[in-house]
Amino acid sequence: MSLLHLAIVLPFLAAVFIPFLFKGLKSIHTGWFVLLVPLFLFIYFIQYLPVTGDGETVTKTFEWIPSLGINFIAHVDGLGLLFAMLITGIGALVVLYSIYYLAKEKEALHNFYVYLLMFMGAMLGVVLSDNLIVLYMFWEFTSISSFLLIGYWYDRERSRYGAQKSMLITVFGGLSMLGGIVLLYLMGGTFSIQELIGLSDVLITDPLFVPALLLILLGAFTKSAQFPFHIWLPDAMEAPTPVSAYLHSATMVKAGIYLVARMSPVFAESGLWLWLVAGFGIFTLFWGSFNAVKQTDLKALLAYSTISQLGLIMSLLGVGAAALHYDYLDDNIYMIATIAAVFHLINHATFKGSLFMMAGIVDHETGTRDIRKLGGLVNLMPITFTIAIIGSFSMAGLPPFNGFLSKEMFLTGMLSVLELDLFNLSTWGVLFPVIAWIASVFTFVYSIKLVFKTFLGKPQFDKLPKKPHEAPIGMLISPLVLITLVVVFGFFPNLLSNSLIKPAVEAILPSLVESGQEVDVHIYFWHGFQPELFMTLGIILFGIVLYSTLAKWQGVYNRIPERFTLNGLYDRGLSGSESGGYRLTSGVMTGFMRTYLVYIFSFFVAILMSTLIIKQGFVYDTSGLAAIKSYEVILALVLVAGAVTILFAKSRLTSIVALGVVGYSVALFFVLFRAPDLALTQLVIETVTVALFLLCFYHLPEISRKEERMRFRFGNAVLSVLVGITITLIAMSAFSQRSSESISQYHIDNVYELAAGGNMVNVILVDFRGFDTLFEICVLGVAALGIYAMIRYRSARSENE
């Protein structure tokens, strides 16, 4: 186990000590101890920057289950390192923020930090694992810890609802992903991503390739809240705000993005991948931004905005995959999409993290997050306002912040789709820049709404639960750091280009690097009068128009009735499956024994008869039959008459006597078939059985004494006749095709020599096959004891009566 492995599991190890620290050192906020973990890890990961900057990777193996090919392989390349730095860096800021956000007297901090550390370790494991099974294990760890964190205030009904919803959706995707992983293993024979990348040319021809692609994408889309799986994210906002900032804006929701980027070298040669990733991404971008505008809750607005921005990154990754189809071009214009995706990923983590913390501060200091109650806070909370306006403008894509740069690159990427000439994109591709532009307009509108409705406008402090004032400085540090990064990356974007972005892009598009293409990351503020510039100007213009007329067109959101929204569908699907499951079991499990017997006999007939017919198993061969004598026919008629009499008998006494007739006929058959021991036993036992039946008959309760003939039921009759026919046909076929001779000749030959007996049946029972007899004696003994116990021991209830 190397230092790298220890670094990945360090948060898990640290989580063990948190409850002791919480209980033992009550005077110090537990968060201070937790803060050391991400800080240390962040510094540790910085040392890998020069390594990946040179295009090198670090791989360390720790054997876990080598016989199954499952080993904990830690693999650090540009992409993994970028995510690791985001996780630890923002993790440290979020822990710092949470120290001031969560009061140590009121909250169950030991739970909170254990869950948070568990999540941090799981997330590091996801982004630094090369083995897909280990990746899956950490992936489910993120789902579980996210579930725990969303339900942190478990006494609130909405928290539990949100936690359950996110759990159901992300675990559904996680299990699909596991299916995809297994399919990949079946195709490639390895769980290692790096080895699978080497096999990508072979994999694409495999018939399992498309199912594996779809399943992996399902996992990524559910985790990253892509349409139509985005519905869990707004409900996850019931979590404490540090959790929303960390999990649901900067890290966990990007696990799906990471997966798509990581698996791009395996799948991206396929056109389907490009279509699905780009298509779902761009629609999610539009849908998220469109729905964000109507939200009145700060965190819900940010949640939809996160969905929308994740869609943006996803669509860029999809378009970036086109670079592989044009690897002969000298100046590969599609690579810019991948660069933009990585760049926007970083930018989004910075501005969205700070905006969530801003929303938390507003909530903390005013007591509400409802946009309709807020307003005019600018004079009271100037620092928070600064954070909000920089974050929002960056989100809207306004200069001079980093969001502007990545938004310009995004538009460039989308315009490049127009030049694609594969898979009908030459005709449908025009939709991409159009939708991207419309979505950007909505993004502008909700970003402006976020700031203006909260901080500007008419103050209405009487509606607020608390008297608003500026937050304590400790709470402001984290968002200020993030907002500083927004500005710094805005002015000096090339700080990132060679250190973080270039290695990450090389990890996403390794085949291009191998074919000698240079990943050229140069981010310019000003690139002349290009179409992108006019698009941005249009966005600002139309955004302002739409924002100022918001009241007039807001009614459009109420056009969709509640039951047709995706949430409505989800709720109805969940309750429908519950009530459907209940109806099914209560319909099938009636509680009547007759019903179950009908199921059993029906399946018996259906399976045996269909096998007999499909396999053409019925054989009719009369050669081995014994001759029929007249008294045997007469005996058979008596037996059948006895059996049928039971069916039509009115009194139970007649039935019992008829059963006796059947039993004695059977004994007579044993005589005819030369089985003297059987005949003796049968006669005695039939007598005892009939006596027992008469005992039962005598003790019948008074109420049901009145005799009545069994009522004829057609269904029962058909089923029983079918069972009889099945037995007869199978018996005939089996008799007609006996495959081997009986082994009885051995018993006949050796009965006297080996066992010193003349009665072969008895010798078999006590000598050749004595074990059967031993346990048959046991059965009788157990039955006798059972009968004794039933009669002797009465339940307490009957004694009380």
Partner 1 sequence: MEFLMCIVVGILFASAVYLMLSKSLLRIIIGTGLLSHGAHLLLLTMSGLKTGAAPILNDNISSYTDPLPQALVLTAIVISFGVTAFFLVLAYRTYQELGTDNMEEMRGTESHD
Nearer to partner 1, 553 or 673 (CB): 673
Q: Which of 174, 35, 21, 223 is nearest to 116 (CA)?
A: 35
Beta bridge partners of 131: 192
Smallest gap from Cβ 723 to partner 1, in A, equals: 5
Residue 792 sits in the site that holds partner 1 (CB under 8 A): no
- State which of positions 679-708 bind partner 1 (CB under 8 A): 681-682, 685, 688-689, 692-693, 695-697, 699-701, 703-704
Smallest gap from Cβ 153 to partner 1, in A, equals: 34
Residue 654 sits in the site that holds partner 1 (CB under 8 A): no
Q: Which of 553, 48, 8 is nearest to 294 (CA)?
A: 553
Distance CA 303, CA 428 (A): 30
Concatenating the DSSP letter of every residue in 388-445 gives: HHHHHHHHHT-TTSHHHHHHHHHHHHHHHGGG--STTHHHHTTHHHHHHHHHHHHHHH
Nearer to partner 1, 296 or 689 (CB): 689
Distance CA 330, CA 327 (A): 8
Residue 668 sits in the site that holds partner 1 (CB under 8 A): no
Residue 534 sits in the site that holds partner 1 (CB under 8 A): no
The one among 591, 740, 799, 800 contacting partner 1 by CB under 8 A: 591
CB contact burial 508-546 (16+ within 10 A = b; e otherwise): bbbbbeeeebebebebeeeeeeeebeebbeebbebbeeb
Residue 469 sits in the site that holds partner 1 (CB under 8 A): no
The one among 102, 263, 496, 662 contacting partner 1 by CB under 8 A: 662
Residue 634 sits in the site that holds partner 1 (CB under 8 A): no
Smallest gap from Cβ 144 to partner 1, in A, equals: 34
Amino acid, single-letter form, for residue 527? H
The one among 154, 492, 557, 673 contacting partner 1 by CB under 8 A: 673
Smallest gap from Cβ 633 to partner 1, in A, equals: 7
Distance CA 654, CA 590 (A): 32
The answer to whether 94 and 245 are in contact (CB under 8 A) is yes
Residue 589 sits in the site that holds partner 1 (CB under 8 A): yes
Residues 6+ apart with CB under 8 A from 89: 38, 42
Distance CA 66, CA 396 (A): 49
- What does the DSSP 8-state code read for residue 624? T
Beta bridge partners of 71: 63
Smallest gap from Cβ 150 to partner 1, in A, equals: 34
- State which of positions 709-748 bind partner 1 (CB under 8 A): 710, 713, 716-717, 719-721, 723-725, 727-728, 731-732, 734-735, 742-744, 747-748
Smallest gap from Cβ 644 to partner 1, in A, equals: 7
Distance CA 34, CA 706 (A): 81
- State which of positions 771-790 bind partner 1 (CB under 8 A): 772-773, 776, 779-780, 782-784, 786-787, 790
Nearer to partner 1, 603 or 735 (CB): 735
Nearer to partner 1, 545 or 634 (CB): 634
Nearer to partner 1, 380 or 646 (CB): 646
Residue 587 sits in the site that holds partner 1 (CB under 8 A): no
Distance CA 665, CA 679 (A): 10
- State which of positions 67-106 bind partner 1 (CB under 8 A): none
Distance CA 688, CA 290 (A): 84
Residue 516 sits in the site that holds partner 1 (CB under 8 A): no
Q: Please give the radius of gyration of the chain, using alpha carbons only, rounded to the nearest integer.
A: 38
Smallest gap from Cβ 699 to partner 1, in A, equals: 6
Q: Which residue has the tokens 């018993």?
A: 747
Nearer to partner 1, 186 or 718 (CB): 718
Please state whether 302 falls in left (phi above 0), alpha (psi between -120 and 50) or beta: alpha
Tell me which stretch binds partner 1 (CB under 8 A): 92-100, 192-200, 312-320, 644-652.
644-652
Smallest gap from Cβ 695 to partner 1, in A, equals: 7
The answer to whether 126 and 55 are in contact (CB under 8 A) is no
Residue 298 sits in the site that holds partner 1 (CB under 8 A): no
Smallest gap from Cβ 709 to partner 1, in A, equals: 11
Residue 373 sits in the site that holds partner 1 (CB under 8 A): no
- State which of positions 470-499 bind partner 1 (CB under 8 A): none
Smallest gap from Cβ 697 to partner 1, in A, equals: 7
Residue 349 sits in the site that holds partner 1 (CB under 8 A): no
- State which of positions 380-419 bind partner 1 (CB under 8 A): none
Smallest gap from Cβ 596 to partner 1, in A, equals: 11
Nearer to partner 1, 201 or 702 (CB): 702
Smallest gap from Cβ 583 to partner 1, in A, equals: 15
- What does the DSSP 8-state code read for residue 192? B
Smallest gap from Cβ 784 to partner 1, in A, equals: 8
Count interface residues toward partner 1 (CB under 8 A). Answer: 100
3-state secondary structure 459-506: CCHHHCCCCCCCCCHHHHHHHHHHHHHHHHHHHCCHHHHHHHHHHHHH
The one among 51, 488, 612, 675 contacting partner 1 by CB under 8 A: 675
From residue 475, alpha-carbon distances to 237, 249, 354, 728 in Å are 19, 18, 11, 85
Distance CA 767, CA 757 (A): 10
Smallest gap from Cβ 577 to partner 1, in A, equals: 22
Nearer to partner 1, 154 or 735 (CB): 735
Residues 6+ apart with CB under 8 A from 541: none
